[in-house]
A and B are shown apart, each in its own frame.
Chain A
Amino acid sequence: MRAFHSARRVGVARQVTFYASLVLVLAFFLFPFFWMIINSFKTNERIQEYPPAWAFAPTTGNFQDVFRQTPFLRHAGNSLIVALGSVGLGLALGLPAAYGIARYRFHRVGVAILACRMIPGVSFLLPWFIVFRSLGLLDTYTGLVIAHLIITVPLITWIMLSFFEEVPVELEEAARIDGCSPWGAFFRVALPLVRSGVAAAAILALIFCWNHFLLPLILAGPRTKTLPVVVYSFMAFDELNLGGVYASATLITMPVLAMTLLVQRHFVRGLLIGGVKG
């Protein structure tokens, strides 16, 4: 009986240690996020107080300023246009490619698409900058949409490849026997079966485009600047408007987090494949 009690005490102690370390881990990984939201509701003076203010009267002034004094919504529109355009075109290129690789075993093409990941983003950026400059494509939506294909096409192709591989070939074979063309089998049989996969791939690609900084930093201009570039310039040129910086950082992150919740099952795989950096 005593042995039983002490074993239970050890069990409880273990549980307590476990949950305590869990809280510590979460505190570390969530703190900057928490701090971003807290500070976006502080006045500029409060943000620069030392010791930092933990209790304060929250204000929505920063958010109002961001919407009133900066063309935040216009730049959010730019981000959306570029991301949607690039995801749309990425689906048009990537879906048939994924299907082709899955069904007709063009694995070498697949590997080549994946190898893009190794190439530093600047090695795409520099040639495009030169070519776009001579074609007049700098600071245009067209240029930005083309440039962001480097993010969307590999991501969509590789996410969809595994979805298409799960569709039983027999269904398409049956359709072919009934007189369906290869494209008919693709559009009418395979594609409807992987709808949820298409949605996941599209949302992931949308997140990566929305977050991207380097390509628009160079290829966008005053007309087409996307949100990350704009938020960065708030900080670079107006060090004193920290409230605005925090509010816009919060605003730019929120849609991403909402979308992440929708696709969290696929998110890690998305990171393995996509996200061209620097």
Chain B
Amino acid sequence: MSERGAPWLFILPAFFFLVAVVAFPVLYTVAISLTRWSAAVTEPPTWIGLANYADMATASPEFRNALLVSIYFTGVSVAIEIVLGIALAQLLNRDFVGKGLVRTLLLLPVAGTPVAFALVWRNMYNPSYGIMNWFMEQAGLPHQRWLAGISTVIPSLILFDVWQWTPLVMLITLAAMEALPTDPYEAAVIDGAGPVELFRHITLPLIRPAVFAVMALRLMDSFKTFDQIYVTTQGGPGTASQTLILYVFDQAFRYLKIGYASAVIIVLFLMILASNLAVVYLRRAAA
């Protein structure tokens, strides 16, 4: 083997992977998004230009609904996860007995099989015998319909999402907090700063990069949340919890509208990209 060719040979398999397994499917999706193609019939796809995109914009209330549901679900759950995650990290950022164990235990919601947890939550939310209504009763609150109610389904899914992903935000911000230098704190305490000032003026600015990074990550993943919603509600009741990803899934694999579904996928991808660019912009503006 030639000495000069060797570096390329290390990379070649991964390059092959990128082309075959990533670039090809993505370009293929773009291409069929410009066609009318129903996989149910044996006809080949017909070229229709941007008509699928125009359909989405004008003729489809379902698409608009899915877009709004996605933004509602992702916006609220990510906001709660970030705030709660930082608060919990602040709580745990001290030495105490069993810290390692607590860290490990908090990995469980993020590590476990999402389908299994979704089945458990679905059952906990059961309106007639689920444990959630029992908790409501203990707190002196009225029973809820949870996943079965049009107005309660998204808040219920948000609670599930917050349960699952806040630990990740917490663990990442906690790691950032533990890596902070102690000098600024000592200086500020001498100057008479209280815990609130310390957090606002020292901790928060210093952990900002980690917070923005985890925010970008959560936005990306949250728009793609599939297992948890599909297993618990399949987008229902009606279309009350049909996010874009569930809408795409339905269009592609239930109605076999391959061309149209591909166009929606491209829009979803652009949304994920836009939300991440927004985080990058926010990060620059805050720095």
Contacts and interface: CB of A to CB of B under 8 A. Distances in A.
Interface of A: 18-19, 21-22, 25-26, 28-30, 32-33, 35-36, 39, 47-52, 92-94, 96-97, 99-101, 103-104, 106, 109, 112-113, 116-124, 126-130, 146, 149-150, 153, 157, 181-183, 186, 207, 210-211, 213-214, 218, 227-228, 231-232, 235, 242, 245-246, 248-250, 252-253, 256-257, 260-261, 264, 267-268, 271-272, 275, 277-278
A118 B119 contact: no
Interface stretch (B54-62, B128-136, B144-152, B200-208): B128-136
Contacts of A260: 107-108, 111
Interface of B: 1, 3, 6-7, 9-11, 13-18, 21-22, 24-26, 28-29, 32, 39, 88, 91-92, 94, 96, 102-117, 119-124, 128-129, 131, 133-134, 137, 163, 166-168, 171-172, 175, 217, 220-221, 223-227, 230-231, 245, 248-249, 252-253, 258, 261-262, 265-266, 268-269, 272-273, 276
Nearest to A124: B25
A126 B261 contact: yes
Contact of B104 (A48, A128, A261): A261
Given A109-B11, A126-B29, A127-B28, A29 B167 contact: yes
Nearest to A211: B113
A157 to B, nearest CB: 6
A42 B171 CA distance: 34
A128 B113 contact: no
Given A186-B10, A235-B122, A252-B113, A119 B105 contact: no
A29 B21 contact: no
A96 B9 contact: yes
Pairs A-B, 4 closest by C-beta atoms: A100-B10, A278-B226, A97-B14, A182-B6
A122 B1 contact: no
27 contacts: A29-B106, A29-B163, A30-B108, A32-B117, A52-B129, A99-B10, A100-B10, A100-B11, A104-B7, A106-B11, A120-B268, A122-B249, A126-B29, A126-B252, A126-B258, A126-B265, A127-B28, A128-B25, A130-B28, A211-B115, A213-B226, A213-B230, A232-B119, A249-B115, A249-B119, A256-B111, A278-B245
Contacts of B261: 122, 126
A118 B231 contact: no
Contacts of A99: 10
Nearest to A278: B226
Given A120-B224, A213-B226, A268-B171, A21 B7 contact: no
Given A92-B13, A100-B10, A119 B269 contact: yes
B119 A153 contact: no
A275 to B, nearest CB: 8
A52 B225 contact: no
Contact of B120 (A182, A246, A268): A246
A277 B265 contact: no
Contacts of A22: 91-92, 96, 102
A126 B13 contact: no
Nearest to A94: B14
A278 B264 CA distance: 13
A32 B120 contact: yes
Q: Which of B3, B224, B225, B230 has the most CB of A within 10 A?
A: B224
B14 A93 contact: yes
Given A128-B25, A213-B227, A29 B109 contact: yes
Contacts of B123: 39, 47, 242, 245-246
A247 to B, nearest CB: 11
Contacts of A35: 120, 124, 131
A36 B168 CA distance: 21
A122 B252 contact: yes
A90 B22 CA distance: 14
Contacts of B266: 123
Contacts of A18: 91, 94, 96
A256 B269 CA distance: 30
Given A33-B112, A96-B14, A268-B107, 10 more contacts: A18-B91, A22-B102, A96-B9, A97-B11, A121-B226, A123-B25, A126-B252, A150-B21, A248-B116, A277-B224
